[in-house]
Structure 1
């Protein structure tokens, strides 16, 4: 299983865009700690956010990225840093409509 940012933009409500975050195991082991330590309020599992919240989400991701650089080593650091940077790049372009909502699950 994996955790990702999802856009449920198809007419039937199914997912039409997925931005991978991590496997569930990696998310639980490292992302959850980073989210807790950085006091992220929006970017966390089972949350959702709209276009107006993107600046706050990107700020939280920057805090998480700094946490990664300080707290992780070697391949875990590189893997998570790459994922954070990908999210920072992809999230702003995921809003094809003003009313789009992104879900993290």
Structure 2
């Protein structure tokens, strides 16, 4: 559970980056940076809890690159979508880290 929350920070960072592609709005960029800071804070809390409970620790810090491909695929499919339903590529439980 904690590892999933920790890993979620990388997903959040990648999704935020994918949404920023082609967007030149300063207010939205500021909001994305605040969301990124919140995601990293959540990862820090999860990491602290894992350490305190002697759980196996992750080998790397949260990174945009970990889920970049999946996030860009999701964003592209959202642009193509005509309905209100979220594309299959946007279901984060299906996202795979880079290299897998």
The two structures have a TM-score, normalised by structure 1, of 0.35
Bigger share in strand = 1
The two structures have a TM-score, normalised by structure 2, of 0.36
Q: Which has the larger radius of gyration?
A: 2
Bigger share in helix = 2
